[in-house]
Amino acid sequence: MDSSPSRPSLLDRLSALLSPEPEDREDLIELLHSAFERNLLDGDALSIIEGALQVSEMQVRDVMIPRAQMDVIHVDDTMEEIANAVIDAAHSRFPAVGENRDDVLGIFMAKDLLRYFAGREFDLRDMLRPAIFVPESKRLNVLLREFRVSRNHMAIVVDEYGGVAGLVTIEDVLEQIVGDIEDEFDFDEVEDNIRLDHAGRYRVKATCEIEDFNTAFEKQFDDEEFDTVGGLVIRQLGRLPKRGEIVIIDGLRFQVLRADSRRVHTLLVDKAPEPEAEAAD
């Protein structure tokens, strides 16, 4: 039997490094950064650990998609209208609503459209999955645990009065830990950095280069001060924006569609509304 000592695991090495135990979160973060500097942790591992620690302090309201930005389907629309909405938004799941956005009847899966277009028996209301509802104040680590147990990927967020405040997905939570998650529906080709949606607005990746943005929108933003559209918005605000924030720059309205505590991901861009004319004396 081999009695040679086994190589200490990463956990063993971290435990040794963290002795004596840190007294608070700041001490823990400092020790983790020390582990990174001593090559006990790589940069990705450090970022994930910091993200996991951050998630335990965040609430659903910090990452949810606000009600006004929810892509929904209306159960009384025609199937052609619903199919067009699904194609334009390019999500896999949609809240299905009745009279208004407070009337959430369930969750519609985009893949169920295949049954309709294949000529199979199809009743939209029967195809809906049950929606789960969570309060704005729920902590993200608790929500993530519930997502894992229930195998749900989306929850409807309600305010203290029971009205719909927005929605949150498992991807929104995981991105706070591991950063942006690209899927097969995310646009990442250069020519797809700017896309027109069905409402006539443009969805723009924050990493879109200023030069390309200037060409598309006939603007002359300085590409020596910042390289990307996200940098333009951050410089205008003087800080990282939050999801849902709006800023007007040179006649364009930039609305943050996706952002986390580290960077901006996607912006909604359209022409800024004209200021109301002052009433004549």
- DSSP for 130-176, please give it: PP-EEETT-BHHHHHHHHHHHT--EEEEE-TTS-EEEEEEHHHHHHH
Domain span holding position 217? 194-271
Per residue in 26-59, pLDDT (tens digit) is: 777 777 777 777 777 776 777 777 778 778 888 8
Six-digit token pair at 58? Answer: 């965040």
38 shares a domain with 114: no
DSSP 66: E
Lowest mean pLDDT among 19-33, 88-102, 146-160, 226-240: 19-33
C-beta of residue 60 within 8 angstroms of C-beta of residue 90: no
Average pLDDT value for residue range 156-180: 86
In a domain, 232, yes or no: yes
User: Which has more confidence, 29 or 279?
Assistant: 29
The overall average pLDDT reported for the chain is 81
Identify the pLDDT of residue 276: 58
168 shares a domain with 71: yes
In a domain, 183, yes or no: no
C-beta of residue 213 within 8 angstroms of C-beta of residue 219: yes
Q: CATH code at 85?
A: 3.10.580.10
In a domain, 47, yes or no: yes
Torsion angle, alpha carbons of 131, 93, 198, 245, to 10: 70
CA angle 204, 44, 93 (to 5 degrees): 45
Q: CB count, 10 Å around CB of 258?
A: 22
Per residue in 73-98, pLDDT (tens digit) is: 999 998 889 988 888 877 889 999 99
In a domain, 10, yes or no: no
161 shares a domain with 79: yes
In a domain, 228, yes or no: yes
104 shares a domain with 159: yes
Per residue in 254-263, pLDDT (tens digit) is: 988 877 666 7
76 shares a domain with 152: yes
For residues 190 and 167, give the distance between their C-alpha atoms in angstroms, rounded to a whole number.
Answer: 29
Residue whose tokens read 């998650």: 181
C-beta of residue 55 within 8 angstroms of C-beta of residue 177: yes
Q: How many folded domains does the chain comprise?
A: 3
Quick one: what percent of the chain has pLDDT higher than 90?
25
128 shares a domain with 99: yes
Is pLDDT above 60 for 231?
A: yes
- In terms of Cα–Cα distance, which of 213, 220, 221 is closest to 195? 213
Per residue in 213-225, pLDDT (tens digit) is: 999 999 999 878 7
Identify the pLDDT of residue 136: 93
Of 41, 57, 73, the one marking the end of a domain is 57
Alpha carbon separation from 13 to 26, 27, 47, 141, 150 (Å, rounded): 20, 17, 18, 26, 35
Biggest CA pair distance of the chain: 99
Six-digit token pair at 101? Answer: 């956005």
264 shares a domain with 216: yes
DSSP 181: -
Question: SS3 helix, strand, coil % of the chain, rounded to 5?
Answer: 35, 20, 40
Is pLDDT above 60 for 209?
A: yes
Per-residue exposure over 78-90, b if at least 16 CB sit within 10 Å of its own CB, e if not: eeeebbebbeebb
**Residue 81 identity (one-letter amino acid):** E
For residues 266 and 233, give the distance between their C-alpha atoms in angstroms, rounded to a whole number.
Answer: 11
Identify the pLDDT of residue 155: 94
Identify the pLDDT of residue 219: 92
76 shares a domain with 173: yes
121 shares a domain with 134: yes
In a domain, 41, yes or no: yes
Burial class (CB in 10 A: 0-12, 13-18, 19+), 108: buried
CB-based contacts of 39, cutoff 8 Å, min separation 6: none
In a domain, 31, yes or no: yes
In a domain, 276, yes or no: no
